[in-house]
Amino acid sequence: MFSNICNIRFYINVEMRVSMLNIKEIKENYRGKLLYSEYYGEIKEDLKKWLNHTKKQGKTIAIWGGNIKGVAFLDIFDPKNEYISYVIDIRATEGEYIKNRKVLSCYDLGGKSIDTILFLNQKHIVQNLDIIKNEGISCDTYDVDEIVKRSLTFEDIMNHRDLEDDINAKEEMTKKIQNELMPLLEEVDRVCKKNDIQYFLCAGSALGAVR
């Protein structure tokens, strides 16, 4: 009898915790949708038109960002799961799904058939572009925050006007990093030569600064 009571209490506690988690998730998703409905409001129709056009071309679309912003984006732009196939996230776990889309790790994109990626967080875009390059992925990329900031139209999105500033910013950042790396490389070179140590440079190091 005592064992049965304990089991009942255990199951009640588990059910209550699961229910609380579900309620918390629902509240977070609702809050995100309210917040970003206004944020995406001005470009909603143009971006939806672009999503529909891109999907009709047979292209696979993914969004980069699985947090509250990503969930809100899916709710607002693709509630019927018509356009977006994947969610890419740096914290992806095996077998994870968001709104019925498989979540992919940004470090495990090799071999995946993705034609177009929408970046949802502009402050990470330079890093994300480098990850894509290092993963050997060749695809179209779009900066959604820039589309919002500049209220780009369907035609603007088609002409890739969203990434104009990002490309320039990436080039400036690369030059700045290379300028910082050169003195370090010169010191490594000095120490290696002094101690008769052979070394080489490969992709992702100061090789670009030397070139």
pLDDT average per 10 residues of sequence, the chain (211 residues) = 50 48 55 74 94 96 90 92 94 86 89 91 86 86 93 94 68 75 87 91 62 58
pLDDT, residue 21, reads 45
**pLDDT tens, 10-30?**
444 545 444 444 555 555 655
Q: How many CB atoms lie within 10 A of CB 210?
A: 12
**Dihedral sign (CA 86, 75, 100, 80):** negative
With beta carbons less than 8 A apart as the criterion, state whether 60 and 84 touch.
no
With beta carbons less than 8 A apart as the criterion, state whether 82 and 111 touch.
no
pLDDT, residue 30, reads 55
Q: How many CB atoms lie within 10 A of CB 193?
A: 11
In angstroms, the CA 91 to CA 67 distance is: 10
pLDDT, residue 108, reads 85
In angstroms, the CA 128 to CA 134 distance is: 10
pLDDT, residue 41, reads 87
In angstroms, the CA 148 to CA 188 distance is: 45
pLDDT, residue 32, reads 58
In angstroms, the CA 188 to CA 166 distance is: 32
pLDDT, residue 13, reads 54
pLDDT, residue 116, reads 95
Task: Give this prediction's pTM.
Answer: 0.65
Inter-helix orientation angle 68-77/2-39, to 10°: 70
With beta carbons less than 8 A apart as the criterion, state whether 120 and 65 touch.
yes
